[in-house]
Structure 1
Amino acid sequence: MKRHNYSTIHKLIIILILLFPVCSMASVKEVTLFPHSAKISEEAKINPQCDKGKCKAVFTLPPQADPESLVVFIAPQSHAKIEDVQLKPIQVRDEKKIVDLRKQLTALQDEKKEKQAKLQALDAQLQFWQAQTKAKTKTVADSYKLAEAIGKNVQKSNQEKFTVETQLEKIDKNLKRLQEELNQAAGHKETAGEVTLTLSGSNQNEISLSYTYSLGGCGWLPLYRIEGLPAANSVSFSWEAEIWQSSGEDWKQVQLNLATLQPIINVNPPDMPDWIIKPRKLYKAARNKDVAATALMQKDDSAENEVLSATPAETRNTTYSVWSLGRKNIEAGSRQRLKIKDESWPAEFLFLARPSLNPQAFVRAQVKLDKPAEIPSGQATFVIDGAVLGKREFSFAGAEGTLFFGTSPLISVSSSTIADKSGEKTIFQDKQTRSWQWLIEAKNSSSADIKLRIEEPVPQARDKRIKLNFKQNPEPAEKDHARFIWLLDVPAGQKKTIQNNIELEAPNDMNLDFGWR
């Protein structure tokens, strides 16, 4: 009879294996983290169910996966071909979380039993010492000794009892919280994706495949430390990545890559709209309702116009860069930091002042790299000579860039007006004139010589009849359409001045706006 039962069970197991294709536990091999998602590459071995040359294989994607991003590859040695891919949602529970919660509950319940046993022992001690108050003594001295012993031991037992009762209260709260989490986890089901592959050409019992998909609940954040070192003519650049994933499983020894931009998973290109050139419609704004109608029509037109309009290795793709960090362990539900690079950038330091706006002098570093770099936007801590200046957003692209490291209280550049005169409009001369005179004073109160760059605005005439004449001492080292630029060497404890004269001439009947300066 027993042999018959074993034979029946054995046959039932074989039937179940034949009816349902088996997928061995898939393992994550490579992860490319984007700022708010991840591209996951997994490998699996599947025992498909075959019938008349057609085989079916099934595997499951995690709840955070995007089914539309799935791409499946069959190993060449499997000699199989994918004929069809079917996706359907299924309800799953977080079994790993449930097991962990049950373990925590069991441990807390055992701890509670220990505390309760200790509490009973303390109650017994208290009863014993309280009973000693009725004991008879031979002398007064013995009575005092007994009273002292009773007092000390009752006090000690009460203190220990209070501590144990407090611990039991905390344990009860944690037990209640864990039980609620367990009930929620056991009753909560998430929607995962079940993938069914239809295969042909395979006569093997086991097929190796790999697949990739996009996963939510993952990401990384760049963190930078940038320190200006003027004495060494360099900028110390440190880059770390804060990474996280909430897949519910720890990733063991996966090839980890970091990418700068979110992937775009559009398969089809957008439709090309027609380019239409037509006369504009004119609307009269005679009444309020006509104005509203015109605004509405203009809004429609604008909508139409919008339609028309070790050390990580870096790999540059068409639209983003990828850094390879090697094999890493990434725990689920926690954040960790990984070092990407530490570099020393050559830089030329000087002070930059714009006295027409304020007298402050800003520490500027002009960075020149050996080769172009792409550093994504992130939070950076700025430091100069060990002093922390604060945090602000930072990004870098190319081989050259400008960084600022705050101001120096020992350097000031002031601008004072000497003259601001307007000439009288005369009928015979048929012209008007105006002249400005400023004195720029640069003061170096520090104990070191400095290089100073001073920038002042160039008045820009928007009419060819406006004539401008400039007289400066010394002459600017550089000049473009918008700025005068002086480059000065100011010794320690010294001052330097710049005289800036500007004369304007325009037609008498021209109503001029002289701007903010």
Structure 2
Amino acid sequence: MKKIIIIALCNFSIIVLGQKPVFAEAKLKSVTLYEQSAELYSNTSFKIAKGSSEVVITNIAQNIDESTIKIGSKSKVSVLTYRFTTDENFYKVELDKKNPQHKVVLDSISLLEKKIKDLDFQRTAIANSIVILDKNQTINSGSGSYSKELQKLIDYYQKKRTELSIELNKAEMSSALLSEKLDKLRTKFDLNNQELEKYPKGKLVLQISSDSSEDVNLDIKYGIREAFWRPYYDVVIPDINSKAQLLYKAMVRQNSGLDWKNVELHLVSGYPNVRKQIPSLSAWSLFYQEPVAAVTPGIQADRAENYASVRSQSAAKEVSIAEVAVVGSSVSRNQLNVAYDLKDLYTILSNNQDNSINLDRTEIPATYTYYTIPKVDRTVYLIAELDNLDKYNLINAEANVIFENTNVGKTTLNAESTDSKLLLTLGDDKRVSIKREVVKDKTMEKSISSSNKEQQFAYQFTIRNNKSEKIKLRIIDRIPVSQDKQIIITLANKGGASYNEETGELIWDIVLNANETKKTEFSFKVNSLKNKVILGL
């Protein structure tokens, strides 16, 4: 009985070893993309025979995290083992034969090469026949039927020579046409080879056991590291009569070694949960520290660094991305992150190039005002003021500012800011000018007592609107603020500005009609001691 079992096992081993591997190509269906990694979901189908089979699954990304591979199936099979390889020579010949385009081109090349070879044989035979025909043209002149034989020879030569020449010409033309086709096929073959070089190097090698012949469907999941996405905004302002368009976008790139072609894309804020165990809590003890008589600078610096390190660690806090509605997609949120399930299918090539994806579009009312601070710079800037930003559920992200189809700069949208307003600089406008001058007859100094003096400073603004439409202009200036009780500063004339006593800031909001010029002035007084020099005035 034991001998029979041993013989049976040996036969089974021979059958298993003799079986050819089964090849299948994984079809990438969806990608869940985190900020610095991704999870890829593929499926494949194939047929296996009863018993144990080796299955080679191609079209797997090259740069994968092998510890994240998960294989599942609803078929009645058992996946005994699996391994990942990027060996280019692994089953290379068999894989080339499995490629339909590759095989068709190779078969066509072989067929044409055989036809051209046959034609070469035919051309050689015809050419040799013509040589023989040309050399055998002599007739015995002593014969009584010389003239008749000569005529027959001429007729035969002409007919046969013509036939052979026509056949040779046809063979040469056919050979030329086939050679042209062969060159095209070889070019196509080279292109196919180039495509094969770009084909993903990753392969999964599985050992699968089945109790019967089975059509198998496999689901394959694995993680990759070389994939990234980040959110950003485009703030698009067509002109100063339009609302601001806030475009929420995602910048996506990947270099996994596998092109993502027409896949479902899911964007997830944050990172995958790589921590597998909850942290432990160490003991907390209190004790008196012995007084230290003297501390060397080096030791003191080390303790300061350690203290700063502990402080920075304890102050660290998790920042989550706020929920944003996505056009044509759904948004889900848990305690750890926010996920965006995009409606359309996307193609992201494995070339580490940025791909921009539109997620949402929101129109925000904007107020357009010209700003200038002539004390520092006489340039007049056009500013767009976006208000009530707290109701749009923005996130912390960089934003490109685009005005009149021109990228005018970048800014940062801070979702954690308590200010609900955002000021965007759209550029300077040379058609609005301002001049700040000292009013000499109102700028003076006088004595008000034996120990005190009073100085008065006066300034005038001259504003000109050279535009063909009405504008709103905000002018910002300030008077000094005293840091000494013996220095008394008073605003003599605020010239219609709003005044902040704590900061000394003056703000004028002026409306200028087309081609209008306006003037305004302000002045302030400084009461101080005569024998003291005031710094900062």
TM-score of the superposed pair, with normalisation by structure 2: 0.56
Q: Which whole-Å deviations, capped at 9, do the CAs of 1:201-244 have from their partners, x for residues lacking one?
A: xxxx9999989765221123556543324553411334444433
Distance 1:294 1:422 in 2: 55
- In the TM superposition, what are the counterparts of 1:46-195 in structure 2 within 5 Å? 64-66=63-65, 70=68, 91-93=85-87
Asked if structure 2 preserves the Cα contact closer than 8 Å seen for 1:41 and 1:211, the reply is yes
Asked if structure 2 preserves the Cα contact closer than 8 Å seen for 1:225 and 1:383, the reply is no
Distance 1:39 1:251 in 2: 12
Asked if structure 1 preserves the Cα contact closer than 8 Å seen for 2:448 and 2:454, the reply is no
1:374: Cα distance to partner? 2.1
1:254: Cα distance to partner? 4.1
Change (3 A) 1:91 1:67: closer
Asked if structure 2 preserves the Cα contact closer than 8 Å seen for 1:41 and 1:213, the reply is yes
Which of 371, 376, 400 is the matching residue for 1:380?
Answer: 400
1:439: Cα distance to partner? 1.4
> Structure 2: which amino acid aligns with 1:301?
A
Change (3 A) 1:73 1:12: closer
1:318: Cα distance to partner? 4.9
- In the TM superposition, what are the counterparts of 1:173-252 in structure 2 within 5 Å? 214-220=223-229, 224-251=233-260
The aligned residue for residue 360 of structure 2 is 341
Distance 2:229 2:531 in 1: 63
Q: Which whole-Å deviations, capped at 9, do the CAs of 1:350-369 have from their partners, x for residues lacking one?
A: 11111122112211112235
Distance 2:430 2:102 in 1: 61
Q: Is 2:525 the partner of 1:490?
A: no
Asked if structure 1 preserves the Cα contact closer than 8 Å seen for 2:232 and 2:397, the reply is no
Change (3 A) 1:88 1:355: farther
Q: Is 2:304 the partner of 1:308?
A: no
The aligned residue for residue 347 of structure 2 is 330
SS of residue in 2 equivalent to 1:12 = helix
SS of residue in 1 equivalent to 2:394 = strand
Q: Which whole-Å deviations, capped at 9, do the CAs of 1:424-457 have from their partners, x for residues lacking one?
A: 899942x565443221222211111111112223
Gaps of 5+ in 1: 1-6, 17-21, 46-58, 79-86, 119-163, 195-204, 285-292
Change (3 A) 1:428 1:223: closer
Task: Give the root-mean-square deviation of aligned CA atoms.
Answer: 6.0
Change (3 A) 1:112 1:382: farther
Asked if structure 2 preserves the Cα contact closer than 8 Å seen for 1:105 and 1:179, the reply is no
SS of residue in 1 equivalent to 2:365 = strand
> Structure 2: which amino acid aligns with 1:326?
K
Between the two proteins, what is the percent identity of the paired residues? 17
Q: Which whole-Å deviations, capped at 9, do the CAs of 1:151-174 have from their partners, x for residues lacking one?
A: xxxxxxxxxxxxx9xx99xx8xx8
The aligned residue for residue 461 of structure 1 is 482
The aligned residue for residue 38 of structure 1 is 38
1:499: Cα distance to partner? 1.4
Change (3 A) 1:43 1:457: farther
Q: Which whole-Å deviations, capped at 9, do the CAs of 1:136-157 have from their partners, x for residues lacking one?
A: xxxxxxxxxxxxxxxxxxxxxx
> Structure 1: which amino acid aligns with 2:373?
R
Asked if structure 1 preserves the Cα contact closer than 8 Å seen for 2:28 and 2:42, the reply is yes
1:317: Cα distance to partner? 5.2
SS of residue in 2 equivalent to 1:442 = strand
> Structure 2: which amino acid aligns with 1:380?
N
Asked if structure 2 preserves the Cα contact closer than 8 Å seen for 1:241 and 1:339, the reply is yes
Q: Which whole-Å deviations, capped at 9, do the CAs of 1:65-117 have from their partners, x for residues lacking one?
A: 4467x597999x99xxxxxxxx99965336899769x9899999999999xxx
The aligned residue for residue 417 of structure 1 is 438
- In the TM superposition, what are the counterparts of 1:424-463 in structure 2 within 5 Å? 428-429=450-451, 431=452, 433-463=454-484
Gaps of 5+ in 2: 1-7, 46-56, 76-80, 117-179, 207-213, 313-326
The aligned residue for residue 12 of structure 2 is 11
SS of residue in 2 equivalent to 1:409 = coil
Higher strand share: 1
SS of residue in 1 equivalent to 2:246 = strand
The aligned residue for residue 134 of structure 2 is none
Asked if structure 2 preserves the Cα contact closer than 8 Å seen for 1:43 and 1:210, the reply is yes
Q: Which whole-Å deviations, capped at 9, do the CAs of 1:47-74 have from their partners, x for residues lacking one?
A: xxxxxxxxxxxx9996534467x59799
SS of residue in 2 equivalent to 1:232 = coil
